[in-house]
Structure 1
Amino acid sequence: MIEVLESSRDDVLEVRIKAPVSDRDYTEVLMPAIDAGIARADQLRLLCILEAGASDFTLGALWDDARMGLARWRGFERIAVVSKATGVARTIRTLSILMPCPVAVFDPGEEDDARRWLTESLGAIHQTDLGNGVLHVALVGKVDADDYEEETRDLNAFIRANGTFRLLLDLREFDGWQGLAGVKDHFKLVRSHVADLDRVAIVGTRAWQKFVVRIGQRLLGKEARYFPADAFDDAKAWVSKG
C-alpha cells in the first residue's frame, strides 16, 4: 500500500509505504503523484516513510520501482527515506553516493528531522575577491548541484573582469558532495575554466585533498600547492605572490 500524505509545500511530496506493495500501488498512486509534483515544481523533494521491507514488494512492484527511478531521477532534487528495515536503510546509504540527487536515511520517529533536511541549506560556496586577480573560494558543508549553478555566474563575472586568475580554494569546512550531480558540476566547472587558471592553493584538513592536488597538478599542468588548515595565511601569501 502506498499513501500520499499532505504537505505544506508544492515542491515536497510525502508518501507512506506499507506492506504489501504491488505494482498497482506504483502505477495508480505513486507515479501519478510524482508526475503531478514535478509538473507543479519542476524538481521535487521526496519524503518516503518506508514501513515495509524488501520482501514486502511484489515482483511487479520491484520492476515499477526500477522503471520509475530510471525515468524520473532527474525530477528529484532531494530524497529522504525513513525506514525501520535495517537492510533497506543500509543499502540506501551505500548507494546514495551514486544517486544524481542528495539522499538521506532517517530512523523511525525522525520524520520531522527528515522534513527539515529536505528544505534546509546543506552547503554553500562563498567567493571573495582578494584583489589582483586572486579569488578565495570556500566550500562549506555538503555541496550540491544547485550551489554550483548559482556560483558559476559569479565566477564567470570575476574571470571576465580579471582574465587569468589565481585561486585560493578553502576546504577547511567542506564535508563533500551531495550525490553525483554535485561531483559532476564540480569537475565541469574546473574543466571549463582551467585555461584561465594561473595557480591554485588548496587549504584542507584531509589526506585525500593533498593527494588530489598532486594528481591535479600533473593532469592540468598548473602550479598547485596544498596547505594544512592552520597555514591559511601562508596559502594566501603564496597564491598572491609574483
Structure 2
Amino acid sequence: MSTALRIEFCGERYTATPGETFVIGREGDLEIDDNPYLHRRFLAIDEERGLWWISNVGSLLSATITDGSGGVQAWLPPGARLPVVFPLVQVLFSAGSTTYDFTIENDEQYFSTTNIHSGASGTTTIGVVPLTSSQRLLVVALSEHVLRQDSPGRGEIPSSAEAAERLGWPLTTFNRKLDNVCEKLDKVGVQGLRGGRGKLATNRRARLVEYAVASHLVSREDLVLLDRNTSAGAAAHADGDGE
C-alpha cells in the first residue's frame, strides 16, 4: 500500500489517500479557481497496485509535469496518465490567460535526477538550442507573474502587447522574437508550441511559460533582467543582439 501524497497550492496543503480519487479542477478536492476556461474535473490522482498516478480526465487542456528539478518533463494531454515516481513533482497548466501550478510530495522515491543544466551570461541553452539575451528577456517578461509567486498557485500571462510594453519594445519586434523562440523550441521537441502545418499555436505564450518555468529555463533570479532592461533603455535590448 502506498503512503499518502501531500499537495500544495496557494499556500494550502491537501492530502491524497490510497483508495480514494483526488480530483483537481474547477470543482473537486482541490478547487483551483472559478475560471470558466478550466475543466470542472481536470486532473485526477489515484493509487493503483502500490503506485500513484496522475491522469488528465479533461477534454481540452493539457498539463506539464516535471520532477521539480526541471531535469525530467512530460506533457500530459487529455486521456493520458503518468506515474508519480519522484519525491517532488510540479504540475503546471494554463486556462485562458492564467497559468496555475501546484506541487506533489511523495514519500516513495522510485527515481532520482541530477540537474546538469547551466547557463552562461547572455545565453541559455536547451539541448543545443541557444537563446539570445533578448529572447531570454522575452521569456522572463511573459513568466514574470508566475515567477513572483511565493508558493505554487496562479499567475496571469500578459498579452503580447502588455509584454512588449513592459519591455519597451515595438509589438512587431516582440512578436518576431516570440515566433523565433517558439520555432527553436519546437525544433527540439517541445510540444504545444505549434498549432498545425506551418502554424504556431494561438496559446503558445501560455505553453512557453509552462515549459520555461517547469524546465527552470528561467527562475526568480532572472527577474532582475527586467529591471536592468528598464534602466539600460529598451531600445538597446530590443535591437542590440539580433536573432
* TM-score in same-fold range (> 0.5): no
Task: Compare CA radii of gyration and give the structure with the larger one.
Answer: 1
Higher helix share: 1
Of structures 1 and 2, the one with the larger relative CO (CA 8 A, separation 6+) is 2
| Superposition TM-score, scaled by structure 1 size | 0.29
